[in-house]
């Protein structure tokens, strides 16, 4: 233990910018970014599955509202959505008296809501594409076995649609990580927020932002390899058979 801290102090010796204090800011930023991205992705995924099923419905009155939702959230910048929720939440009548207020007052939750709604819209469209691409033969086979609509959705369509959506969803996860940088605009101390703080403190743009860019790059690669691993496992049946 002593060895490591001695090594660490050696590494940081004579470094005016990257002191243990500023590295602490970056660490806190990493934690905030990870929480924000992870929670919004999970919530977005949970929302997206029923929405995608509704979006693929034959009935216009079910699919149209979902289409409008995805159209608006995919057609406008995330920054605008964040501003609307961050500045707008105060103006919901009576919200300040409810139990939700202490939660919504902080920047973290408006940002989380904005990110969740945004990623849910993109994920819905990804899943819809995957559901639509289910081969006719599989559906006919399920019908021939006498499966009900629900059972077919659960056993046949969704499992294969999830697999087909995997590559596109991996891109969406990376996109979300990058989009989360705008959380720093509403005073959140995420990774980018930490970099802005260090920049402002030392007036060292290259050190502050190149360092954070390297962290993002590592995170991106980690996500990329995780999804490659998942694809290898889950899409094994689609690989060409050799050796």
Partner 1 sequence: MLDLQGYGPRLIEGAGVTVQLAVLSLILAIILGLLTASAKMSRNWLLRRTATVYTTVIRGVPDLVLMMLLFFGGQIGVNAISDLLYYNYEIDIYINFNAFTAGVITIGFIFGAYMGETFRGAFMAVDNGQIEAGKAYGMSNALVFRRIRFPQMMRHALPGLSNNWMVLLKTTALVSVIGLTDMVRVAAEASRATHEPFVFLIPVAVAYLLIASVSEWIFARLQKRYDIGFGGQ
Binding site for partner 1 (CB under 8 A): 71-72, 75-81, 83-84, 87-88, 91, 177-182, 184-185, 192, 195-196, 199, 205-206, 209-210, 212-213, 216-217, 220-221
Closest contact distance (angstroms) between CB of 57 and partner 1 is: 24
Q: Residue 64: CB partners within 8 Å, gap ≥ 6? A: none
Closest contact distance (angstroms) between CB of 221 and partner 1 is: 7
| Alpha-carbon span 113 to 122, nearest angstrom | 15
Closest contact distance (angstroms) between CB of 204 and partner 1 is: 9
**Residue 234 tokens, joined:** 């889950």
* 29 vs 44, beta carbon nearer partner 1: 29
Closest contact distance (angstroms) between CB of 94 and partner 1 is: 17
CA angle 86-90-91, nearest 5°? Answer: 115
* 35 vs 220, beta carbon nearer partner 1: 220
* 38 vs 71, beta carbon nearer partner 1: 71
* 142 vs 193, beta carbon nearer partner 1: 193
Q: What is the length of the chain?
A: 243
Place of tokens 């060292």: 204
* 51 vs 85, beta carbon nearer partner 1: 85
**Residue 55 tokens, joined:** 């979006």
CA angle 41-120-218, nearest 5°? Answer: 35
Closest contact distance (angstroms) between CB of 117 and partner 1 is: 13
* 142 vs 190, beta carbon nearer partner 1: 190
| Alpha-carbon span 24 to 231, nearest angstrom | 35
**Residue 185 tokens, joined:** 């605009």
Neighbours of 177 (CB within 10 A): 21
Closest contact distance (angstroms) between CB of 142 and partner 1 is: 32
Asked if residue 147 lies in contact with residue 212, where contact means CB atoms within 8 angstroms, the answer is no
């Amino acid at each position: 233990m002593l060895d490591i801290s001695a090594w660490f102090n050696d590494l940081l010796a004579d470094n005016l910018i990257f002191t243990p204090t500023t590295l602490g800011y970056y660490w806190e930023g990493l934690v905030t970014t990870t929480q924000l991205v992870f929670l919004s992705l999970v919530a977005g995924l949970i929302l997206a599955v029923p929405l995608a099923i509704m979006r693929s419905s034959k009935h216009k009155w079910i699919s149209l509202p979902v289409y409008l939702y995805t159209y608006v959230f995919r057609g406008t910048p995330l920054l605008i959505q964040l501003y609307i929720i961050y500045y707008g939440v105060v103006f919901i009548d009576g919200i300040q008296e409810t139990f939700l207020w202490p939660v919504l007052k902080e920047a973290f939750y408006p940002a989380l809501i904005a990110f969740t709604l945004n990623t849910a819209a993109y994920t819905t469209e990804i899943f819809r594409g995957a559901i639509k691409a289910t081969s006719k033969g599989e559906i006919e086979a399920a019908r021939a076995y006498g499966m009900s609509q629900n059972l077919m959705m659960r056993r046949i369509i969704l499992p294969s649609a999830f697999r087909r959506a995997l590559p596109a969803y991996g891109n969406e996860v990376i996109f979300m990580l990058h989009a989360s940088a705008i959380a720093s605009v509403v005073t959140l101390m995420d990774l980018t927020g930490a970099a802005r703080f260090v920049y402002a403190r030392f007036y060292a743009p290259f050190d502050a932002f190149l360092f954070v860019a390297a962290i993002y790059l590592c995170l991106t690669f980690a996500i990329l390899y995780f999804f490659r691993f998942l694809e290898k496992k889950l899409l094994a049946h689609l690989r060409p058979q050799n050796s």
